[in-house]
Structure 1
Amino acid sequence: MSQSWHGGHSMYIHEQKNWPQFQWDKENLAELLTSVRYRQGRLIGHMEALGFALREEAMLQTLTQEVIKSSEIEGEMLDQNQVRSSLARRLGIDIAGSVPADRNVEGVVEMMLDATQNFQQPLTEDRLFGWHAALFPTGRSGMHKITVGAWRTGERGPMQVVSGSIGKEKVHFEAPDAEKVPEEMTRFLDWFNTNSDHDPVLKAGLAHLWFVTIHPFEDGNGRIARAIADMQLALADESPQRFYSMSTQILKERKDYYDILEATQKGALDISTWLTWFLQCLDRAFLGTNDILSNVLLKARFWEKHTSVSLNDRQKLIINRMLNGIEGKMTSSKWGKMAKCSKETAIRDIQDLISKGIMIKEEAGGRSTSYVLNDSTKK
């Protein structure tokens, strides 16, 4: 029994008779896919030509971005230093000034690393439940208790994507009924693990859409869909090393992302528009790698230039933080907080760096003096 009208719009894509037999314009997409694959290959070649240490740092920055931005798309802000420290620890990369990470940060990092480092392992129900449990370590989403590490149940009524204030809600999408989820997910996972007819990059876009349309969990579907796409992109690269961040680009284009997703989920089984957007977004994500690379080279040049200068651990920590980009200005009180030392010690550290020509006082003056790195190392 299928009504063709739900609250004034025709069927959702998953209610179409031949769901999930997606179609797309293969000829039109072929050209775009070729150019995306070409740029992807060049980018990986470029990164592999870097020395080991630079490549490690580039990967650490890329994964840090990916984890932070995927959460930010959902409106959740994670602490950059915690994410970076958690990733470095798990990847066995030695970084200065490692900080302990909260459970929720550890969870997102765990999921992202499992997806990208173990991309050759099949994606199973059990593995997805593990990711989901890692995302919600307290069994809650915000204040609400949710079903964790299992498919959603129908207890709360239909699973809808809604925006707007109470009384003025707009339903953007309604997912398949909860009792259909196990069967839908079995079919999805069978396809994901076995079907190799499609180019893996195209398959990443397809998997993202298909998973998020089933919407199998009570919460976290967007982040898991992006992790699945990342897993598929690692398969496309045939490498666990990540040098571009799709989520960073999706965040920049968040409005288009949601608009195209909604239009596709309310449309027929031809998903050419979605796949075109996905490939173009990925193409733009490669450009973002230039920013990461220039920052990596900048840091490397900075440390090369100052190899012979003796610095204490606090100074190394804060300089690295400044090179990674900090929020706002560096002041002596901010230094004290970050390095966990007294203001007096902070002032001594800063004065020492000024005398060594590594830092300079900013012109502005005013109530609190701020300091910057003295260098061409500043972009």
Structure 2
Amino acid sequence: MPTRLPRKPPPLKELLKHCGDLRETLRLLAGLAGEASGDRYLHWDELRYRTPPEGLSHEQWWLAEKLSRRPTPLPLLAADGQAFWFSQPLVLQQALHQIDMQAGASVMAPEAVTTRSTRDRYLLSSLMEEAITSSQMEGASTTRDVAKAMIRSRRPPRDRSERMILNNFLTMQRIQEVSKQALTPQLVRELHRLVSEGTLDDLADAGRLRPAGKEVVVDGAKGTVFHVPPPAEELPGRLEELCRFANGETPKVFIHPVVRAIALHFWLAYDHPFCDGNGRTARALFYWAMLHQGYWLFEFISISSVINKARGQYERSFLLSESDDNDLTYFLLAQVKVIQQAIASLHAYLERKAGEVGALQQRLEGIAGLNHRQLALLRHALRHSGFRYTVLSHQNSHGVSHQTARSDLQKLAARGLLIAGKDGRREVFRVPEDLAARLPG
């Protein structure tokens, strides 16, 4: 469904006209306001179609909702100079708590990401997924299989779509390298250059703030103007302010780390500081912020894959925030939902992989001619693709002689379940990438 502009809420003066006796109405609304926005956060564009509480008009009901929303201002200013702000309805507080419990700094790592070999494999998979879907949101048409083959083989991109995907992949890798660093305007421009290099109509625009004379209007296919970003001359100062916010220097009140990361995403998209590639850069800054603030699990999470499935909701939440007195809560609620779905997808994926390993381990028990030491090694090998065993490591693990340990490993290699090789003069036995497929039965 095409995105449309939401109906703007009526101004306060108009709302007060519907109140009748102001004292009595305010008393009634104050009581109702305490119950408002518990498990929902309605915009006027939705509320006006719902049945209001008994005895109230839609305007009175909307006023009660507005009274319940206690604002926390942000240093992001709209075109009219008014600050964006957010409130903290219960539904947002609950979502933030859940994210902290499932992906915060103190969360124990799943077994699948505590071993180097499987961790690297999962990390590569998540980086590729985010690179591909983030690029597809901006028009890349390359298929998943072709894109993954390009990244794995390290072949040069053949067209603009492949270039976008490779750029995103390299950007995600760079974010991991700089996640401990403070955000600076130079780093923002570097990330944009990585994201957009070789994909823009004017190649000089990569990493360059939108210059005067290149004003942009974000509109739809039918010419509807959805957003007019700030003028070019304001961008350097606004970018400095964005970085101060990202680094926790502003505001002088506590902002939940996830709220800060989402607000950073919105801020860059709102300012639209580059001629193109703003969406990809905004999502890159979100990842930087989450990793910078200790949410390490986001190395393995793709938000773009979730956003891409419901892009209309993502775009609409942006418009809802702009149209209701700069209330960022709509965008926050949409994004925490995306984050929750992305975390759930990761856990489901890890559980599925763990189940597959468990099933393979059961198959091991049916392989004839293997002793308990060899079975134990293969159970370990199924969880550690690419791992290298030596005669000494196997000998020490099981307290057997050098010859017995060597015989165990050589017999596994003879069956094709390990790959024998040399590291200098030392024998090594490596786990093949396709070990599961090599198991009999």
Is 1:54 aligned to 2:118, yes or no? yes
Is 1:272 aligned to 2:272, yes or no? no
Structure 1 segment 243-322 matched on structure 2, within 5 A: 243-293=300-350, 296-297=353-354
Aligned AA for 2:329?
S
User: CA separation of 1:125/1:82 partners in 2, compared to 1, >3 Å: closer, same or farther?
Assistant: farther
- Identify the residue that residue 153 of structure 1 maps to in structure 2: 211
- Identify the residue that residue 128 of structure 1 maps to in structure 2: 188
- Identify the residue that residue 179 of structure 1 maps to in structure 2: 233
- Identify the residue that residue 47 of structure 2 maps to in structure 1: none
User: CA separation of 1:98/1:240 partners in 2, compared to 1, >3 Å: closer, same or farther?
Assistant: farther
- Identify the residue that residue 351 of structure 1 maps to in structure 2: none
- Identify the residue that residue 68 of structure 1 maps to in structure 2: 132
CA-to-partner distance for each residue in 1:256-306, whole Å, 9 max, x for gaps? 001111222333132112111111111111111145325644776799879
Over 4 Å off, 4+ runs: 8-13, 41-44, 48-51, 78-87, 143-146, 294-306
Distance of 2:95 and 2:181 partners within structure 1: 29
How far the C-alpha of 1:118 sits from its partner, in A, is: 2.1
Checking the alignment, whether the CA contact within 8 Å between 1:119 and 1:234 is kept in structure 2 is: yes
Tell me the secondary structure at the aligned position of residue 172 of structure 1.
strand
Is 1:98 aligned to 2:158, yes or no? no
Distance of 1:172 and 1:193 partners within structure 2: 30
Distance of 2:105 and 2:194 partners within structure 1: 34
Is 1:192 aligned to 2:246, yes or no? yes
Q: Aligned pairs, how many?
A: 288
Distance of 1:181 and 1:41 partners within structure 2: 33
User: CA separation of 1:36/1:185 partners in 2, compared to 1, >3 Å: closer, same or farther?
Assistant: same
Q: Which among 165, 172, 184 is matched to residue 112 of structure 1?
A: 172
Tell me the secondary structure at the aligned position of residue 324 of structure 2.
coil
| Percent of paired sites with the same residue | 20
How far the C-alpha of 1:230 sits from its partner, in A, is: 0.9
Tell me the secondary structure at the aligned position of residue 194 of structure 1.
coil
Alignment gaps of 5+ in structure 2 = 1-6, 12-75, 158-162, 368-415, 417-435
User: CA separation of 1:183/1:241 partners in 2, compared to 1, >3 Å: closer, same or farther?
Assistant: closer
- Identify the residue that residue 329 of structure 1 maps to in structure 2: none
Tell me the secondary structure at the aligned position of residue 15 of structure 1.
coil
Larger Rg: 2
CA-to-partner distance for each residue in 1:76-127, whole Å, 9 max, x for gaps? 134646765787xxxxxxxxx6342425444222211222342111121212
Distance of 1:131 and 1:50 partners within structure 2: 27
Distance of 2:299 and 2:266 partners within structure 1: 22
Distance of 1:119 and 1:111 partners within structure 2: 12
Q: Which among 5, 9, 17 is matched to residue 81 of structure 2?
A: 17
Distance of 2:276 and 2:360 partners within structure 1: 43
Distance of 1:153 and 1:214 partners within structure 2: 13
CA-to-partner distance for each residue in 1:316-339, whole Å, 9 max, x for gaps? xxxxxxxxxxxxxxxxxxxxxxxx
Distance of 2:255 and 2:8 partners within structure 1: 32
Deviates more, 1:53-62 or 1:181-190: 53-62
Alignment gaps of 5+ in structure 1 = 1-7, 88-96, 309-355, 357-373
If asked which structure has higher relative contact order (CA below 8 Å, sep 6+), I would say 1
Distance of 1:146 and 1:265 partners within structure 2: 31
Checking the alignment, whether the CA contact within 8 Å between 1:152 and 1:216 is kept in structure 2 is: yes
Distance of 2:355 and 2:178 partners within structure 1: 31
Aligned AA for 1:122?
A
How far the C-alpha of 1:24 sits from its partner, in A, is: 2.0
User: CA separation of 1:184/1:264 partners in 2, compared to 1, >3 Å: closer, same or farther?
Assistant: same
Distance of 2:202 and 2:352 partners within structure 1: 40
Tell me the secondary structure at the aligned position of residue 205 of structure 2.
coil
User: CA separation of 1:84/1:241 partners in 2, compared to 1, >3 Å: closer, same or farther?
Assistant: farther
User: CA separation of 1:301/1:58 partners in 2, compared to 1, >3 Å: closer, same or farther?
Assistant: farther
Checking the alignment, whether the CA contact within 8 Å between 1:104 and 1:134 is kept in structure 2 is: no
CA-to-partner distance for each residue in 1:224-280, whole Å, 9 max, x for gaps? 000111111223444376222111111112110011112223331321121111111
TM-score normalized by the length of structure 2: 0.57
Checking the alignment, whether the CA contact within 8 Å between 2:179 and 2:288 is kept in structure 1 is: yes
Tell me the secondary structure at the aligned position of residue 219 of structure 2.
strand
Distance of 1:56 and 1:42 partners within structure 2: 19
Structure 1 segment 187-266 matched on structure 2, within 5 A: 187-195=241-249, 197-239=254-296, 242-266=299-323
